[in-house]
Amino acid sequence: MELVVSKLIDEFKLKPFQVENAVKLIDEGNTIPFIARYRKEATGELSDEQLRDLFERLTYLRNLEKRKEEVVRLIDEQGKLTEELQLAIATASTMTEVEDLYRPYKQKKKTRATVAKAKGLEPLAIIMFEQKEKTPLEELAQNYIDEEKGVTSIEEAIQGAKDIVAEMISDVAEYRKDIRKIIYDVGLIDTKAAKPDEKSVYDMYYDYKEAVKKIPSHRVLAINRGEKEEFLKVKIDEIDEPIIHYLNGKVLIENGTYQAEMVETIDDSYKRLIKPSVENEVRNELTDMAEEQAIKVFGQNAKKLLLGAPLKNLTVMGFDPAYRTGCKIAVIDDTGKLLATTTVYPTEPQNDVDGARKKLLELINQFHINMIAIGNGTASRESEMFVADMIKEVKHEIHYAIVSEAGASVYSASKLATEEYPDINVSLRGAISIARRLQDPLAELVKIDPKSIGVGQYQHDVNQKRLEESLTGVVEDAVNSVGVDLNTATPSLLRYVSGVSKTVASNIVKYRDEHGKIKERKELLKVSKLGPAAYTQCAGFLRITDGENPLDNTSVHPESYEVAEKILSSIGFTTNDLKEKLPEIKSNLNTIQPSKVATELQVGEPTVRDIIKELQKPGRDPREDMPKPVLRSDVLKFEDLREDMILTGTVRNVIDFGAFVDIGVKNDGLVHISEMSDKYVKNPMDVVSVGDIVKVRVIKVDMEKHKVSLSMKGV
């Protein structure tokens, strides 16, 4: 355990107390959001992201130590464990190194070497490998001819000995480690077309080479996909010569005997045994690193999308565009309650523009709709043109926004949607989801499998279990950073709250239904299966907007209520004054010195700072600081685009090589990483995030492919 902690301290460049306390808190069953928010003193204010990285690495290192113990036991049981080998296993830093060291002792399936050993040829192989014996090999081999054992000739005996030596060479852990390094240093990923005459999205890889050490993760995943779909053949090139040279230098003894046979054997060992497995290992490592990067990108994008600014106090019309089956319409009030649904046909093939206009204007006027959320899928731009033209006839102020509809169809057909809207047609549920996404992205998007949110790269190609774990963490962090209204939250939102399981989430809603509104946080302890431990984890993240205690509408944890009350008392107020005298409280709180109060009350300074911040803005939604969606009232056609045009757009997706920006035409434009700034940009996420509103300049318009290249330089 001590070894794992010291490794984490070293790797993360943290203070010992930060890692020791974080590990202890994790082992005690505390959730990451809880530790990040309410145990800042213990961890030295580590963020949720840092804690998740630490937790992942902790899990890996613990599994590594477990495997080391197992390997030592297995080798010891064979009576072959030496002090040197035990030390090598103990100091190995990766699973691959441990498996390399275990390789020679692993029970092998039938191989050419095991067959040769069964024929009694191992002593001959050892003589050959040591290269010291002066007697000609043919003469020595004569002694191993044994028809009963299946060795009928000198050639067979020598070949069997070579097979054993080839496997001995391939099993040396040091060689394998060095060979992997050679591949990383000089290897080239070489891709060729598997079907040269067939056009595909992988055209650029039909004759392509890139250094193993430089290839970016998105290209690794693209090549893997092309290979899987049988459009590409992939190998690692430029490695045979340096590796053979390395092995000769390691295995051959100066002025040793049997040189010709040994050179042949080394060549066979490399090409038949080492190369296929090590090349495969390197490609797997590249894939693992690329997948980790893709998962990280997906998670960061998803978090930004989840934390998109809500548009409150609006009656919204959800507009789910389509052609033949018609555009589905849903109207929801400012609480998300469904008011009306309909279907209109303003697009091909019906083109009933007048009928659609009449029906929608009636709804707009009847419910005083001030916002239309248009899904960005099929027929989106035609629908946008129709909406932009129609709202010119509306007397009151009204805008529309384009909303990502990724996952809306998945939600529509889900069990959850059926429970929420049992009497509403599946196709109309998508329009409800689109409208609600604009009102409160977080509350709506948690209902959808995070993989279907549609922001990232290659999310369907990566390890799905790993992706799910990562995204669950991302959703948890997003939900807990915002907080959840205890009296209105759905089970799908509640289950992401720290310490709340799926069952407990349903029980909270059931309790609400039976007993009415929950009036104070401690009432949660009456909810079935929500015990004191779960209460500690979840209480601070659940809000009661008009409860008996105003602190219940803040992220101040109940365990710190006494501290909050003392802070208020020190400036002459009580918690009840939070409702009536907030401006005076805010002003007086600004005069407090957190360090002084922390010393007086014997609590941590971070806790005092957080409490003061909450008392200044009780019930505040942190998403209010996020960029609001771009609201439009007119449409831009693709044909209107011209080079050097300056436009405002919304960042829809950030990937390794740039960002896709919605500028109001059918396809999002690409800002390549090289066009993001006049300075060098290593990672696009250092410059933009999903949901950001950015100014861009059009630098290239491809009318044929409907592609737009954009730049953020000097705009």
In whole angstroms, what separates CA 145 from the centre of its chain?
61
pLDDT value for 95: 95
Sheet holding 207-211, edge to edge: 207-211, 188-193, 232-237
End-to-end CA gap in the chain: 53
Is-cis flag, bond preceding 349, omega within 30? yes
Does residue 293 contact residue 287 with C-beta atoms inside 8 Å? no
Q: Which CATH number fits domain 2-105: 1.10.10.650, 1.10.3720.10, 1.10.1040.10, 1.10.10.60?
A: 1.10.10.650
Q: How far apart are CA 201 and CA 214, in angstroms?
A: 22
Q: What is the mean pLDDT of residues 227-240?
A: 96
Would you state the pLDDT for residue 405?
A: 83
Mean residue pLDDT of the chain comes to 92
When pLDDT is cut at 50, 70 and 90, the band that residue 635 belongs to is low
pLDDT tens sequence across 614-627: 999 888 888 887 77
pLDDT for res 602: 93
Residue identified by tokens 């290269």 is 131
What pLDDT was estimated at residue 456?
Answer: 62
Confidence tier at 5 by pLDDT (50, 70, 90): very high
Burial per residue of 313-327, b for 16 or more beta-carbon CB atoms within 10 angstroms, e otherwise: ebbbbbbbbbeeebb
Q: Please answer whether residues 293 and 461 qualify as being in contact, where contact means their C-beta atoms are separated by less than 8 angstroms.
A: no
User: How does 225-258 read in b/e, with b if 16+ C-beta sit within 10 Å?
Assistant: bbbeeebbebebeebeeebeebbeeebeeeeebb
Give yes or no for residue 102 having a pLDDT over 90: yes
pLDDT greater than 60 at residue 1? no
Distance CA 709, CA 696 (A): 10
pLDDT digits (tens, 9 = 90+) for 577-614: 988 888 899 999 999 999 999 999 999 999 999 999 99
Give buried/exposed letters for 22-61 (b at 16+ CB in 10 A, else e): bbebbeeebbbbbbbbbbbebbeebebbbbbbbbeebeeb
Mean pLDDT, range 101-120, rounded to an integer: 94
3-state secondary structure of 657: coil
* Backbone φ and ψ of 103, nearest 5°: -50, -50
Q: Which pLDDT does position 100 carry in this prediction?
A: 96
* Record: fold of 502-625: DNA polymerase; domain 1 (1.10.150)
Checking 333-337 for CB contacts under 8 A at 24+ apart, the result is 333/367, 334/439, 335/488, 336/436, 336/439, 336/440, 336/443
pLDDT of residue 408: 82
Question: What is the residue-wise DSSP string for 27-48?
Answer: HTT--HHHHHHH-HHHHTS--H
Compute, in degrees rounded to 10, the torsion defined by CA atoms 695, 697, 702, 708.
Answer: -20
Nearest to 466 by CA among 67, 59, 30, 1: 59
The residue ranges of every structural domain in the chain are 2-105, 119-294, 316-439, 502-625, 638-711
Instruction: List the beta bridge partners of residue 602.
Output: none
Integer Cα distance of 632 and 614 in angstroms: 35
Residue 387 near residue 319 (C-beta atoms within 8 A): yes
Give the CA distances from residue 243 to residues 42, 179, 248, in Å, rounded to whole numbers and listed in that order: 50, 6, 9
Q: Say if residue 92's pLDDT is above 60.
A: yes
Percentage of the chain beyond pLDDT 90 is: 72
Interval 537-559: pLDDT, tens: 999 999 998 889 999 999 999 99
The angle, 0 to 180 degrees and rounded to 10, between the axes of the packed helices 275-306 and 464-482 is 20
**How many CA atoms within 13 Å lie on the side-chain side of 108?**
16
Candidates 483, 320, 299, 334; CA nearest to 408 is: 320
**127 closest CA partner among 162, 175, 174, 151:** 162
How confident is the model over 442-480, as pLDDT tens digits?
A: 999 888 877 787 666 677 788 888 888 888 999 999 999
What pLDDT does 451 receive? 76
Average pLDDT value for residue range 567-585: 91
pLDDT at position 618: 87
Span 154-169, mean pLDDT?
97
List, for residues 69-82, the tens digit of each pLDDT value.
Answer: 999 999 999 999 99
Q: What CA–CA distance (Å, rounded) separates 105 from 422?
A: 61
- Evaluate whether the domain defined by 316-439 bears CATH number 3.40.640.10: no
Say what the pLDDT of residue 103 is: 95
Which superfamily does 119-294 belong to? Tex N-terminal region-like (1.10.3500.10)
Supply the pLDDT for residue 559. 96
pLDDT, one tens digit per residue, over 261-299 is: 999 999 999 999 999 999 999 999 999 999 998 888 888
pLDDT of residue 649: 85
Is residue 251 within 8 Å of residue 266, measured between CB atoms? Answer: yes
Q: Say which residue the tokens 């009636």 belong to.
A: 362
DSSP letters, 227-244, are HHTTSEEEEEES-HHHHH
Give the model's pLDDT for residue 306: 87
Q: What's 468-533 look like in SS3?
A: HHHHHHHHHHHHHHHCEECCCCCHHHHCCCCCCCHHHHHHHHHHHHHHCCCCCHHHHHHCCCCCHH
Q: According to the model, what pLDDT value does residue 391 have?
A: 94
Average pLDDT over residues 427-431: 92
Query: In 169-229, where do the E strands start and end?
Result: 188-193, 207-211
**pTM of the predicted structure, to 2 decimals:** 0.83
Q: Which CATH architecture group holds 638-711?
A: Beta Barrel (2.40)
What is the Rg, in whole angstroms, of the alpha carbon atoms belonging to the chain?
33
Does residue 344 contact residue 352 with C-beta atoms inside 8 Å?
Answer: yes
How do residues 358-398 score in pLDDT, each as one tens digit? 999 999 999 999 999 999 888 888 898 899 999 999 999 99
User: Which tens digit of pLDDT belongs to each residue from 490-530?
Assistant: 899 999 999 999 999 999 999 999 999 999 999 999 999 99
| pLDDT in the model for residue 468 | 86
